[in-house]
Amino acid sequence: MKKFFEAIVRGVLTCSGFVTSLVILLIIGFLFTEGAGLFNEPMVEEGYVLALNKENDVSSLTAEQIKAVFDEDIVNWKEIGGRDMPITTFRLEDVERYFTVEELGSEYEHVGMCIASLIARSPGMIAFVPQSMLPADAEVRYIDDSTISLSEVFAGTEWFPTATPAPLFGIVPLLAGTLWVSLFAILFALPFGLSVAVYMSEVASERMRSVLKPVIELLNGIPSVVYGFFGLIVIVPLLQQGFNLPVGESGLAGSIVLAIMALPTMITVAEDAMRSCPRSLREASLALGATRWQTICKVVIPSSMSGITSGIVLGIGRAVGETMAVLMVTGNAAIIPTSIVEPLRTIPATIAAELGEAPAGGAHYQALFLLGVILFFITLVINMSVEYISSRNKYKLR
């Protein structure tokens, strides 16, 4: 009976492990499939075309060039490889500026012919219109509508997924913001975390340690939105006044909040690593005439460096993957940061802020999944680093 019961338990555990692994693989596969679908999407909004006069010899434009043309940052075709003539942009809502209601028809049945004739007599015009609206025999030519390329995404410096005619999905500002705020968060947290870990492991009495350790570990259970509110109400106004900033929401505010959130993990792991230092090493150092602080600096910390490094890397993982707190205090500006006091936006914050508004299956939706893939790889590298450091620590202890 006992063996039968053990066999059942073993089978249940095996099945649960298999199902869990399968679900994780399916989630990862879904994430990669949706993210990769972005590169099959057309550069120009689906169902629309960019129509030109037949005399215009420009055949292709990048998404950034299209946006610059329609934003009137580029005003001459010579700037993008064409002839020297001014650019005139046309959108469907501009049709009543060129034609009367009688010309368009009572039900706008002649609008396609009118737009085609307008393009035919305007050499410098570029029109963003529905493809189905233009007649098949229209005397116009079209900009080549290629799919979104890898270079536009991974080397693009502008994130503007709602831009028309061509959305921009450059991830460089988001990746830079994520790494920038995480770097400064670790720089802020590291000296405080290491100091508290040394105090709890080597200086504090057992009674003090029994009080501090549960309190510090309890900080891990505080919801991130609470940290975000604290940063928004306390840290942001202080930074705005202290640095005389137009707005207090900045990368610095995000770094300070993330540093506070990463401290419990760093302190706990580093303190456990220091307490695992063999007592014989401490006694040998003291026996040779070293002081207590010399023993801590020259013996305890070096022998615990693998564990301390693991705590630092885990703190980086907490900073990189944080969403709500960063979303609330960093200003959410998708620009490449040049200073820590500028607003910025991180990858997790972008996913959280935009996924609910992105049409399912569209380019914007798939771009957010691609950001999830990038975040997955960043987290994977961090986890592999922790495993490598931990394995080195175990090898040294043997």
Three-state secondary structure of 306-331: HHHHHHHHHHHHHHHHCCHHHHHHCE
Would you state the pLDDT for residue 104? 87
Output the six-digit token pair for 246.
């137009």
Q: Is residue 327 part of a domain?
A: yes
Would you state the pLDDT for residue 355? 87
Output the six-digit token pair for 140.
């116009």
Question: Is the preceding peptide bond at 246 cis, omega within 30 degrees of 0?
Answer: no
Same domain, 180 and 102: no
Would you state the pLDDT for residue 393? 55
Output the six-digit token pair for 219.
């900080």
Q: Are 373 and 38 in contact (CB under 8 A)?
A: no
Domain-terminating residue out of 97, 129, 146: 146
Q: Is residue 6 part of a domain?
A: no
Mean of per-residue pLDDT scores for the chain: 87
Would you state the pLDDT for residue 6? 79
Query: What's the burial of 200, exposed, middle or buried (CB within 10 Å: 0-12/13-18/19+)?
Result: buried
Q: Is residue 248 part of a domain?
A: yes
Would you state the pLDDT for residue 397? 47
Report the CATH number that the domain containing residue 287 is assigned in CATH. Answer: 1.10.3720.10
Same domain, 213 and 327: yes
Residues in contact with 225: Cβ distance below 8 Å, sequence separation at least 6, in sequence order = 324, 325, 328
- The 10 Å CB-count burial string (b at 16+, else e) for 305-314 is bbbbbbbbbb
Same domain, 254 and 309: yes
Same domain, 209 and 269: yes
Alpha helices in 121-202 (DSSP H): 150-154, 172-198
Q: Could you tell me the pTM of the whole model? A: 0.85
Report the CATH number that the domain containing residue 117 is assigned in CATH. Answer: 3.40.190.10
Same domain, 317 and 188: yes
Same domain, 208 and 353: yes
Q: Is residue 17 part of a domain?
A: no
User: What is the extent of the structural domain holding 192?
Assistant: 172-397
Same domain, 221 and 133: no
Quote the strand ranges of 70-165, DSSP E.
88-91, 125-130, 140-142, 159-160
Residues in contact with 152: Cβ distance below 8 Å, sequence separation at least 6, in sequence order = 43, 62, 63, 64, 168, 169, 170
Q: Is residue 163 part of a domain?
A: no
Would you state the pLDDT for residue 368? 93
Same domain, 217 and 321: yes
Instruction: Domain count for the chain, please give it.
Output: 2
Q: Is residue 183 part of a domain?
A: yes
Same domain, 203 and 62: no
Q: What is the pLDDT of residues 81-104, one digit of tens each?
A: 888 999 999 998 898 889 888 888
Same domain, 287 and 138: no
Same domain, 321 and 202: yes
Domain-terminating residue out of 130, 146, 162: 146
**Crossing angle of the two packed helices 305-321 and 172-198, in degrees rounded to 10:** 140
Q: Is residue 8 part of a domain?
A: no
Same domain, 130 and 233: no
Alpha carbon 187 to chain centroid distance? 20
Residues in contact with 15: Cβ distance below 8 Å, sequence separation at least 6, in sequence order = none
Would you state the pLDDT for residue 160? 92
Q: Is residue 3 part of a domain?
A: no
Q: In which residue ranges of the chain is pLDDT below 70? A: 1, 389-398
